[in-house]
Amino acid sequence: MGLLAYYLKSPYGMRQLYLVFNVVKLFAILEDPIPERKPQALLPPIVVNREPEWKVKEILDSCWHQRRF
């Protein structure tokens, strides 16, 4: 990796994604495009085996990919 690329850390389940990006593709978000929108407060994680975990409220969509969900 050179000086013009960023490597993003990911959870183990996302290791199949290529997470190296050129600096041209990344930019800072300056402000919220919808000023009336209020961000939802995140609940604190549940720590299991020293790893943070969250409970899933609902699954909105899913699909099969190579015989797996």
**pLDDT tens-digit profile of 50-61?**
888 888 888 888
Residue 52 within any structural domain of the chain: no
Q: What is the pTM of this model?
A: 0.31
What percent of the chain has a predicted confidence (pLDDT) above 70?
97
**Partners of 46 in beta bridges:** 53
Residue 2: per-residue pLDDT:
66
Residue 1 within any structural domain of the chain: yes
More confident residue, 49 or 39: 49
Residue 12 within any structural domain of the chain: yes
Domain count, the chain: 1
How many other CB atoms are there within 10 angstroms of residue 5's CB atom? 13
Residue 54: per-residue pLDDT:
83
Residue 29 reports pLDDT greater than 80: no
Q: In the numeric block, which tokens belong to residue 57?
A: 């409220």
Residue 21 within any structural domain of the chain: yes
